[in-house]
Amino acid sequence: MLEFDNVCFQYEVDDYAIMDKLSFQIQDGEFVCVIGPSGCGKSTIFRLVNKLLTPDAGRVLVNGQPIETQKNYCGYMPQHDLLFPWRTVRENVMLPMEIQGGYTKAEMQKRADEALASVGLSDWGQKSPRELSGGMRQRAAFARTVLTGSDLLLLDEPFSALDYLTRLSMREWLLEQWERDQKTVLFITHDVEEALFLSGRILVVESTPMTHLRSIEVPAGYPRTREELARPEILSLKEDLIQMLRRDAK
Ligand code: ADP
């Protein structure tokens, strides 16, 4: 679904490279978390996938094709919901369709309402985003991301600004969405527990510049419950991951 093929990248103003010949692959339908300390370049990976940045060398491929030749191949959701306060929730969710064009207003409204219903916000479309709780706003932002129509979703720490209990519910909610929609999800987090709860596979950023990502399978299936996080092999993996991140942070 997604492939980095020997990608090199350095920000012009920096005197160090972020990635050097980085290659990795994500398969169709996977839920993969990328973890690494702050500033190691996780978000840069996303900016290269959504074409905000261009590699200095190497290629980024989606479905086997270089991304330069493609449109609407990924949906991106940042840490903050970025809902426009002057639009209703429904108008916010309609935005990707307005940008893509080719929809009548009635079609956009219908699809936005269906998407809002799918995230449990049927009665909230006419409200202003400020009337929603933090978790509800992120659900609306997720509905908007899904309405890009892409099978590849890039989620950049989408729950980190939420309080702890809301974050737990949102993780469970996100897995339900993923199991139902069968999208491919690449999820950035620096929270080891979040990565263990959500992913089938974790990619750990082990070095700067990034020359490789260490791939670790999570020994648990789906549907997943929070109780599974207490299993000895998951706890031991959690410790290993914390050690890896600590070493990187030095
Ligand atoms: P992460 O998502 O892992 O926290 P980022 O990908 O945002 O890290 O950033 C990686 C590194 O690149 C950081 O050290 C940061 O200082 C640098 N960086 C990020 N954005 C820019 C930019 N626009 N220009 C120059 N350097 C940047």
Q: What is the pLDDT of residue 201?
A: 97
**What average pLDDT does range 141-168 have in this prediction?**
87
> Which superfamily, per CATH, for 26-56+152-250?
P-loop containing nucleotide triphosphate hydrolases (3.40.50.300)
Of residues 48 and 208, the one with the higher pLDDT is: 48
pTM for this prediction: 0.89
Choose which residue among 13, 14, 160 to substitute to test ligand 1 binding: the one with the highest number of ligand atoms within 8 A of its C-beta: 14
Choose which residue among 12, 19, 33, 44 to substitute to test ligand 1 binding: the one with the highest number of ligand atoms within 8 A of its C-beta: 44
Count how many Cα atoms sit within 13 Å of the Cα of residue 65 in the half-sphere of its side chain: 7
| Residue 106, ligand 1, Cβ within 6 A | no
pLDDT averaged over every residue in the chain: 91
Peptide bond into 66 cis (omega under 30): no
Sorted by sequence, the CB contacts under 8 Å of residue 121 that are 6+ apart come out as 89, 132, 136, 139, 140, 143
**What average pLDDT does range 212-239 have in this prediction?**
93
- Which residue's CA is the closest to the ligand 1 atom numbered 18? 11
CB neighbourhood size of 37 (10 A): 16
pLDDT (tens digit per residue) in 32-76: 999 998 888 999 999 999 999 999 999 999 999 999 999 889 988
**What average pLDDT does range 182-194 have in this prediction?**
92
Q: What is the DSSP letter of 202?
A: E
| Residue 129, ligand 1, Cβ within 6 A | no
- Which residue's CA is the closest to the ligand 1 atom numbered 25? 11
Ligand 1 centroid to Cα of residue 88, in Å, is: 33
Q: What is the pLDDT of residue 249?
A: 55
pLDDT band at residue 181 using 50, 70 and 90 as cut-offs: confident
| Residue 144, ligand 1, Cβ within 6 A | no
Q: What is the pLDDT of residue 96?
A: 85
Query: In what helix (H) or strand (E) does residue 97 lie, and over which residues does it extend?
Result: helix 89-100
> So where are the chain's domains?
26-56+152-250, 84-149
Whether the per-residue pLDDT at 245 is higher than 90: the answer is no
Q: Tell me whether strands 65-66 and 19-26 are parallel, antiparallel or unpaired.
A: unpaired
Whether the per-residue pLDDT at 248 is higher than 60: the answer is no
| Residue 13, ligand 1, Cβ within 6 A | yes
**What average pLDDT does range 137-159 have in this prediction?**
88
